[in-house]
Structure 1
Amino acid sequence: MDTLITGGQAVTEAGVIAADLGIRGGRIAAIAAPGALSSSASEVVDAAGLLVLPGAVDLHTHFTGSHDRPLDEVREGTLGAAIGGITTVVEMPHSAPPATTLEAFRRKQALFASASAVDFALWAGLDGRNLEELPALNAAGAVAFKAFLTSGDPSGAATDEKGLPRLGDADLVRAMDVIRGFDGLIGVHAENHELLTAARLEQQAQGRRDARAHAAAGPELAEIEAVSRLLVFAGRTGVRLHVVHVSSAAAAGLIRAARDGVRVTFETCPHYLILDEDDLARIGADARCGPPLRPRTTVEALWTHVLDGAVDAIASDHCPYRPEQKRVGDASIWEAGMGLTGIETSAPMAFSEGVKRRGLSVVEFARMTATGPAKIAGLYPRKGAIRVGADADLALYDPTAEWQVRGSEFHGLGTWSAFEGMTCTGRVVRTLVRGRTVQHDRRRMAEPGFGRFLTRFDDIEARS
């Protein structure tokens, strides 16, 4: 064995077991009773008192979309991902230019390959003009295709050179038909454009600039309607559909009810499970995201879907605006960058709130943070689970450690947090990617560029 993980409680798909893990060639070679494996491994990691979880797979990151320093953010931000127990990131298409063409997609792949601390896969984007590019993007390794049903620009255009425009219904259905042809996945930001635009203009016409006005400008009805429409289109086309960052419990209920006839999955985010509209009013610009934070009653209703196993994935929606891009929103919420930084807190805060506070099983936590997203992206079984033959992607948690969230301590450009000052129970003390420790006690242990590019076509059995 190259590496032996001893003394820990391994969280497998079947349950939590006291087990030693043997790693060879970057993969899990053995799961054995404590003490059953030879201690002659080159490296022995003592995991006594720790939970050994499958490394999280974050389906929804925006490392390159909100600033003008993409290389810095990929290099440092993916170290932050490892510190948060994330071993694979699936990056959205936003960049300059967005990954809607094969050339732009390959440029983004090269950027991540040069700097990422963890393994990575890539989304491609849909802009209504690139239908002919989709098969080539799929062949190049895009694990999914992102569409927006809304835009911050009333015309529906992209709000900047890095973004994507609103996709109209006809273009959306055409894209679904093409993607269905190669059994690809379409992921959609589901909010009704007309409802959002009207609500925002109404708030602005009243002269409102306060944080709660942002909540009023993002009515839950806009999400419910858009999800309803998506489910009809996906059912008719037969495409695999993934609904991103669901904040509405009612929308989650619609997705669940449609599963008998629609191939649909959905994710939510820790901020929709922990923070609420009152927190938005208290925190201000650092809590502006889309969809907006919902009332506490909606948060609690969304938890019912989590606790009964209906949520497929928990994702960060990491959007690392620089602090000054948020501070301009202190005077007017409309000027604040739209999104939250969350790569270091996503899994630990979900663990703290779900496992420690609400009694979520740690097996379910692993399913939603690792196994589920790996399956959605087509990366399972080599990613997302502790099983023989899988990549040795592991997050070692001290389940009792308490720490306070301090955005100033984050890695990457987004050194702020909507969870600022909150206490988190559960800390990732070591993270391994393909058997290599990439962070230990928040210290970098692998060079930038260690991360590998992943596609849904990779064959785990063929890899050496």
Structure 2
Amino acid sequence: MSDTASAVLIRGGTVVNADREQRADVLCVDGRIQAVGADLAAPPGATVVDAGGQYVMPGGIDPHTHMQLPFMGTVTADDFYTGTAAGLAGGTTSIIDFVIPDPQQPLMDAYRMWRGWAEKAAADYSFHVAITWWDESVRADMGTLVHEEGVNSFKHFMAYKNAIMADDETLVNSFRRALELGAMPTVHAENGELVFLLQQEMKAKGITGPEGHPLSRPPAVEAEAAQRAIAIADVLNVPIYVVHVSCAESAEAIARARARGQRVYGEVLAGHLVVDDSVYRHPDFAVAAAHVMSPPFRAREHQAALWRGLQAGHLHTTATDHCTFCAAQKAAGRLDFSKIPNGTGGIEERLAVIWDEGVNTGRLTPSEFVAVTSANAARLFNIYPRKGCVVEGADADLVVWDPAGTKTLSVATQHSKGDHNIFEGRTVTGIPTHTLSGGRLVYVQGDLRAEPGQGRYVKRPPFGPVFDALSRKAALQAPTAVARSA
């Protein structure tokens, strides 16, 4: 990593945080925000950025990416450098990626492997660690990850039967251990048994193309798993975070649980907010296959429900599940949709798409935009206000945003190494003009200045008093919980 950048003064903009807007300058020195206020003086040698008529916001935090992921017999096109560089070009300055151990692989072995891959990252990064199997060594490694490595969230795939799917026994053991440690369980909510069955049924009917993908993963399959995970978390009294909520039924399950007072949090992908399931019926296999991801894109009425969830506060974060496979890799499933590597891109486009479809339509205020693109993720994963906030002492991860700027999104101009863009041809109003990462200007009016290895690993401390209280409450309620689950 190179030496810390010199001072940068962002002058004349409107600073937007999740709680308020204010006209202010922002001075960044030694990688941190030194001051936020009116008419700040530029230190000698400082770079001055004119933000007149623009917003100055926390850099985006994408809490769900898969860089350099080995999956379904291949590896994603974007590694930790190219993926994070693309993010910087779009105003995203931090990611939380996933360590996914193979079944029976020690968690710490997988974690060390991912940490090695991530050393080339151009932006700051952290990790969720997936629990794909269970024994006492997994329980011990979870403790090491929390106490020594700064991991405070564990992922559970309820799908992908015969691969990385976690059964209910694993969920129960892992959720309880997470509560003990002050860590957040997260779930990919799809019923893997039903998906496997429906895949076989589709193929038996002769449906082998990409159109079979959404048919084998209908909303009810996602909703069942979400409700089951929420119920398990309720009995154990542990908070839970549901990733990539894609359908109205799952969003409603989260809303109902929250109305009962349960701590359930929901994430939605930029793609699920604007892309519908008609893409799977495209006559060109390559185009249809490029959209194969899980959960799949849904009918348009689900998009409206997801927006309502964001507006109502039942869904809390926006992400991308950035997981890029090229056409040659997707072709592995030309004769069998279940063999198409699952994944799409979007890390560069997320902020612009959500601003255009959220703020420009009146669905979100600028402050609400900051909440769902950075601040809420920082709070939920315990790195706020170091991240997700433009305030003195925070990391100088910032995006200068031109609300009048326009861009047509396209694979021809993206920085990702993927060869398809799910937002292809969409013209957005509201784009970044400058991105700062650790006080460095890494994107300046179309000029991407990302460098491998500039990103830092971000440790996320465990949650303290809230989890301690929940753990005590769980112990006191144990007899009731047993009776209720009988």
TM-score of the two chains, using structure 1 as the length reference: 0.90
Which segments of structure 1 move beyond 4 Å, counting only runs of 4 or more? Answer: 38-41, 66-72, 95-100, 327-332
Which of 358, 362, 365 is equivalent to 1:361? 365
The 5 A counterparts of 1:294-373 are: 294-329=298-333, 333-373=337-377
Deviations 1:255-284 (A, max 9, x none): 122124422211000111101112332351
**Pair 1:25-2:25 in alignment:** no
Per mean C-alpha deviation after superposition, the further-off stretch among 40-49 and 362-371 is: 40-49
Partner SS, residue 108 of structure 1 = helix
Return the alpha-carbon distance in structure 1 between the equivalents of residues 79 and 346 of structure 2.
13
* Residue number in structure 1 paired with 2:429: 425
**Pair 1:213-2:212 in alignment:** yes
Partner SS, residue 64 of structure 2 = strand
Letter in 1 for 2:314: A
Partner SS, residue 103 of structure 1 = helix
Deviations 1:210-263 (A, max 9, x none): 333221111111111111111111112122311000001221121122124422
Return the alpha-carbon distance in structure 1 between the equivalents of residues 261 and 462 of structure 2.
29
* Residue number in structure 1 paired with 2:114: 108
Return the alpha-carbon distance in structure 1 between the equivalents of residues 401 and 304 of structure 2.
26
Checking the alignment, whether the CA contact within 8 Å between 2:104 and 2:133 is kept in structure 1 is no
C-alpha RMSD of matched pairs (Å): 2.3
* Residue number in structure 1 paired with 2:139: 131
Which of 46, 52, 60 is equivalent to 1:48? 52
Return the alpha-carbon distance in structure 2 between the equivalents of residues 404 and 71 of structure 1.
23
Return the alpha-carbon distance in structure 2 between the equivalents of residues 398 and 101 of structure 1.
43
Partner SS, residue 63 of structure 2 = strand
Return the alpha-carbon distance in structure 2 between the equivalents of residues 442 and 100 of structure 1.
43
Checking the alignment, whether the CA contact within 8 Å between 1:184 and 1:239 is kept in structure 2 is no
Q: How far 1:145 sits from its partner (Å)? A: 0.9
Go from structure 1 to structure 2 and tell me whether the alpha carbon gap of 1:261 and 1:12 turns closer, same or farther (over 3 Å shift). closer
Partner SS, residue 439 of structure 1 = strand
Go from structure 1 to structure 2 and tell me whether the alpha carbon gap of 1:182 and 1:192 turns closer, same or farther (over 3 Å shift). same
Return the alpha-carbon distance in structure 1 between the equivalents of residues 275 and 440 of structure 2.
35
Which of 59, 65, 74 is equivalent to 2:63? 59
Percent identity, aligned pairs only, is 31
Partner SS, residue 60 of structure 1 = coil
Which of 277, 281, 288 is equivalent to 1:284? 288
Q: How far 1:386 sits from its partner (Å)? A: 1.0
Go from structure 1 to structure 2 and tell me whether the alpha carbon gap of 1:62 and 1:13 turns closer, same or farther (over 3 Å shift). same
* Residue number in structure 1 paired with 2:406: 402
Deviations 1:67-108 (A, max 9, x none): 766796211111001011111110111478998521321232
Checking the alignment, whether the CA contact within 8 Å between 1:79 and 1:118 is kept in structure 2 is yes
Q: How far 1:336 sits from its partner (Å)? A: 2.6
Return the alpha-carbon distance in structure 1 between the equivalents of residues 278 and 123 of structure 2.
35
**Pair 1:169-2:168 in alignment:** yes
**Pair 1:5-2:10 in alignment:** yes
Return the alpha-carbon distance in structure 2 between the equivalents of residues 98 and 81 of structure 1.
33
**Pair 1:74-2:80 in alignment:** yes
**How many equivalent residue pairs?**
447
* Residue number in structure 2 paired with 1:161: none
Return the alpha-carbon distance in structure 2 between the equivalents of residues 182 and 106 of structure 1.
20
Q: How far 1:404 sits from its partner (Å)? A: 1.5
Partner SS, residue 409 of structure 1 = coil
Letter in 2 for 1:19: A
* Residue number in structure 1 paired with 2:471: none
Q: How far 1:332 sits from its partner (Å)? A: 5.1
Return the alpha-carbon distance in structure 2 between the equivalents of residues 458 and 168 of structure 1.
25
Return the alpha-carbon distance in structure 1 between the equivalents of residues 401 and 121 of structure 2.
22
Per mean C-alpha deviation after superposition, the further-off stretch among 291-300 and 102-111 is: 102-111
* Residue number in structure 2 paired with 1:266: 266
Letter in 1 for 2:321: D
Q: How far 1:446 sits from its partner (Å)? A: 4.3
Return the alpha-carbon distance in structure 1 between the equivalents of residues 203 and 78 of structure 2.
35
Go from structure 1 to structure 2 and tell me whether the alpha carbon gap of 1:438 and 1:98 turns closer, same or farther (over 3 Å shift). farther
Return the alpha-carbon distance in structure 2 between the equivalents of residues 205 and 72 of structure 1.
35
Return the alpha-carbon distance in structure 2 between the equivalents of residues 95 and 344 of structure 1.
27
Q: How far 1:331 sits from its partner (Å)? A: 6.0
Q: How far 1:334 sits from its partner (Å)? A: 3.5
Q: How far 1:143 sits from its partner (Å)? A: 3.1
Go from structure 1 to structure 2 and tell me whether the alpha carbon gap of 1:96 and 1:49 turns closer, same or farther (over 3 Å shift). farther
Return the alpha-carbon distance in structure 2 between the equivalents of residues 250 and 37 of structure 1.
53
Return the alpha-carbon distance in structure 2 between the equivalents of residues 46 and 100 of structure 1.
50
* Residue number in structure 2 paired with 1:242: 241
Which of 383, 390, 393 is equivalent to 1:386? 390
Q: How far 1:13 sits from its partner (Å)? A: 2.6
Per mean C-alpha deviation after superposition, the further-off stretch among 239-248 and 331-340 is: 331-340
Checking the alignment, whether the CA contact within 8 Å between 1:62 and 1:94 is kept in structure 2 is no
**Pair 1:142-2:151 in alignment:** yes
Return the alpha-carbon distance in structure 2 between the equivalents of residues 95 and 415 of structure 1.
27
Q: How far 1:36 sits from its partner (Å)? A: 4.2
Specify every segment of 5 or more residues in structure 1 that has no aligned partner in the other structure, as ranges: 159-164, 460-464
Checking the alignment, whether the CA contact within 8 Å between 1:145 and 1:185 is kept in structure 2 is yes
Partner SS, residue 349 of structure 1 = helix
Return the alpha-carbon distance in structure 2 between the equivalents of residues 193 and 169 of structure 1.
11
Per mean C-alpha deviation after superposition, the further-off stretch among 416-425 and 169-178 is: 416-425
Letter in 2 for 1:377: F
Specify every segment of 5 or more residues in structure 2 that has no aligned partner in the other structure, as ranges: 1-5, 464-486
Go from structure 1 to structure 2 and tell me whether the alpha carbon gap of 1:332 and 1:70 turns closer, same or farther (over 3 Å shift). closer
Partner SS, residue 368 of structure 2 = helix
* Residue number in structure 2 paired with 1:84: 90
Letter in 2 for 1:144: S
* Residue number in structure 2 paired with 1:186: 185
Return the alpha-carbon distance in structure 1 between the equivalents of residues 77 and 244 of structure 2.
26
Deviations 1:412-443 (A, max 9, x none): 43131111122122221211112111222343
Checking the alignment, whether the CA contact within 8 Å between 2:58 and 2:397 is kept in structure 1 is yes
Return the alpha-carbon distance in structure 2 between the equivalents of residues 15 and 99 of structure 1.
46
TM-score of the two chains, using structure 2 as the length reference: 0.86
Checking the alignment, whether the CA contact within 8 Å between 1:84 and 1:348 is kept in structure 2 is yes
